[in-house]
Amino acid sequence: MPARSVVLLPGTGSDEIFVRSVFAGPAAAVGLEAITPPPGARPAMGYLTVLDALARTRPVIAGGISFGAHLAAEWAVRNPDRCAGLMLALPAWHGLPAGAPASLAAKASADLVATQGLDAALKLATDGVPRWLADELSRAWRRHGGDLPMSLRAAADYPAPTLDSLRRLEIPVGVAACVDDPVHPAEVAHTWAAALPRASVVETTLEALGADRESLGRAAVLAWLRAAVEG
């Protein structure tokens, strides 16, 4: 039974509003309904439980951005018979974080919120960043409320799938990378794709994402379509 939906998970400190703005249009263009669960106090366990529930009656495609991509791939490794494919944007590391830029950034953000308070932390975190990113952080961090430091630290230390586990996935996987993103190096996306038996990478930029949120989603969907055809 073919999948009719794609479950998309946000990155650390982000929310379902952003991941929907990235993926809903590109997913609809290929006939898929985007399901975007909101973050909770324990995002890893919560998102994996949501995927379990949604895949009870038919396979689903899973995906996400950064930490959300890690969790989607983890769930696919655990449930290969219930996952019809993966759409992954900006994976940040494989295996243990081991000082990965995204892990260090999440820990620094958690410390900033814990020591300075949310308003002061946002002022410091958004100083000098593009307006679109400042707006996204301001909305999403406020929506997380008091759970934000805990969720940031949990994600920062959470292992991503290992390359050996990715090698066991025989489903089509599309990976999107931003070549100008130092926090999510494009090299990581290409390393994931090299390990996966049926994967393709499409590159874009953070500059394009700032002008058009769907640019990142289109890259992931296009990569997934290529993997499905070429595989």
Sheet holding 33-35, edge to edge: 33-35, 5-9, 60-65, 83-89, 173-178, 199-204
**Straight-line distance from the first to the last Cα atom of the chain, in angstroms, rounded to the nearest whole number:** 19
Query: What are residue 204's phi and psi, to 5 degrees?
Result: -145, -160
Q: How far are the Cα atoms of 67, 126, 141, 164 from residue 88, in angstroms, in the given order?
A: 10, 26, 22, 18
CATH for the stretch 5-98+159-230:
3.40.50.1820
Q: Which of 210, 11, 196, 181 is nearest to 86 (CA)?
A: 196
Average pLDDT, the chain: 95
Q: pLDDT tens-digit profile of 183-231?
A: 999 999 999 999 999 999 999 999 999 999 999 999 999 999 999 998 6
Q: Domain boundaries in the chain?
A: 5-98+159-230, 101-155
Q: pLDDT tens-digit profile of 109-157?
A: 999 999 999 999 999 999 999 999 999 999 999 999 889 999 999 999 9
Distance, in Å, from the CA atom of 163 to the CA atom of 177, rounded to the nearest integer, reads: 17
3-state class of 57 per DSSP?
A: coil
Distance, in Å, from the CA atom of 225 to the CA atom of 142, rounded to the nearest integer, reads: 36
Per-residue confidence band for 43, with pLDDT thresholds at 50, 70 and 90: confident
Q: Quickly tell me which residue has 């975007």 as its tokens.
A: 36
DSSP 158-169: PPPPPHHHHTT-
Distance, in Å, from the CA atom of 77 to the CA atom of 174, rounded to the nearest integer, reads: 15
- Residue 41: pLDDT over 70: no
Q: pLDDT tens-digit profile of 151-167?
A: 999 999 999 999 999 99
